[in-house]
Amino acid sequence: MPGRDPGEPHRTATSLELLSDLCFVIAVSQASGGLATAVTGGHYATGCLRFLLVFFTIWWAWMNFTWFASAYDPDDVPYRLTVLVQITGSLVLAAGVGRAFRDGDLRLITLGYVVLRTALTALWIRAARSDQARRRTALRFALGVTLCQFGWVTLLFLPAAAHLPGILVLVTAEVAVPVWAQAAGMTPWHPHHIGERYELFTLIVLGESVAAATVAVRGAFDQHHDAGALYRLAAGGLLMVFAMWWLYFDRPAHLLLATTHQAHRRRFTWAYGHYLVFASAAAEGAGLAANAKLVTRGAAIPAAAAGAAVTVPVAVFLITVWAVHVRPHQHGGVEQLPFPTAAAAVLAATWSPAPALVSGLLLAALVAVVTVTGRAGPGPRDGTTTPS
């Protein structure tokens, strides 16, 4: 399993990677549904905390496999079988999401996560045997991932009071492993391939949000509840998802990655920052679904809490996309204002009579501003220029 050429032309996602993404998104859907249920039940803090933890396990397993496959992907039988084991682990993880949200039971989700990560460890060991130039990096990855898995399994046997501190320690250890491992040498990842993989997963998560909201709104319509409120919710949801797609894909990711190939800090910021991009996109679907349920059940929770379930994820999405995906392309001070301003306005919409619709209109206005200023000013959009 020698490293692939990071300058390989026409490198694209494989069908196996796409299959893996589709299976991961099942877990994303379960996490989004769990958050929606927690919000409608009034369990805001517990629901958000469990969502962030569950989503971390999904995102982290997906991200580590994505970067590994970008550097090492021989597409032979042993590799395919190992990846299929990882996919099985993602499905086990998805099956455990419901228990994690209802009872805080992490046993099944930990089992799926350990299966995922153990399979990845086997791939890193294989890479260490084949790629002598990066043997030290691969062995560091294998060791770090293995130690973290021992930590997650040990956590299951500790008292409940130790769970939250233990989770925080293990999450810190997990995110530190790639930094420590690649300090020994970079893996030969492909900028265009990584950019495409992140873009595809963004599309899948946005699509899951649309699906979750559509099912909830359809259910509300079937029960003949307030049609006006549902129309406003549906229109706002569509505007938000369309605008989120537009704003994210306005700048090509691979140009930023290619330009900062040696800038470790900025590259890690971009890669790790997508946790909030993906999580906020999934949480947006949960917020829309929760609001649709509230229309059918009446005012079970305060109006501000229902509004925040929609506006807070959108604001997080805007700020994160701007910080890690858009801002590095920008050159002038004026260009820095639209995204933070729109995020603040979206948060203010929490207290409006129709938070989803107002937020959708604000995002549509942001798209118009970004499009007009982008056409008038410099910046790469079509791959013909690169940022400074």
> Residue 3: how many CB atoms within 10 A of its CB?
19
DSSP designation for 374: H
Q: Is 219 strand, coil or helix?
A: helix
Residue 299 φ then ψ, to 5°: -80, 75
Query: Is residue 58 helix, strand or coil?
Result: helix
pLDDT per residue of the chain (388 residues) written in tens, 0 to 9: 788 888 888 888 999 999 999 999 899 989 998 998 888 888 888 889 999 999 999 999 999 999 999 999 888 999 999 999 999 999 999 999 988 888 888 899 999 999 999 999 999 999 999 989 999 999 999 999 999 999 999 999 999 888 889 999 999 999 999 989 988 888 898 888 998 999 999 998 998 877 877 776 676 666 655 677 788 888 888 899 999 999 998 877 766 676 544 455 677 788 899 999 999 999 998 888 888 877 776 656 788 888 899 999 999 999 999 988 887 766 555 567 889 999 999 999 999 988 999 999 999 999 999 888 866 554 455 444 333 3
Q: 275 CB contacts (<8 Å, ≥6 apart)?
A: 55, 56, 59, 60
* Per-residue CA distances from 349 to 298, 314, 342, 359 (Å): 20, 11, 10, 6
Give the Cα separation of 144 and 244 in Å (integer).
Answer: 35
Domains in the chain and their CATH numbers? 15-182 (no CATH), 191-376 (1.20.1410)
Tokens coding 49: 């905390």
User: What values do phi and psi take at 214, rounded to 5?
Assistant: -65, -45
221: tokens are 């319509």
pLDDT at position 151 is: 95
Least Cα distance to 69 among 120, 31, 7 occurs for 120
Give the pLDDT of residue 125.
95
How many Å apart are CA 320 and CA 283, to the nearest integer?
14
Distance (Å, whole) CA 89 – CA 86 = 5
pTM assigned to the model: 0.88
* CA dihedral sign, ordered 287, 289, 292, 298: negative
pLDDT, residue 383, reads 45
Closest CA relative to residue 61, chosen from 124, 114, 7, 98:
114
How wide is the angle at C-alpha 132 spanned by C-alphas 130 and 134, nearest 5°? 105
Burial (CB count within 10 angstroms: exposed 0-12, middle 13-18, buried 19+), residue 215: middle
Residue with tokens 């929760």: 290
**Per-residue pLDDT, 56:** 94
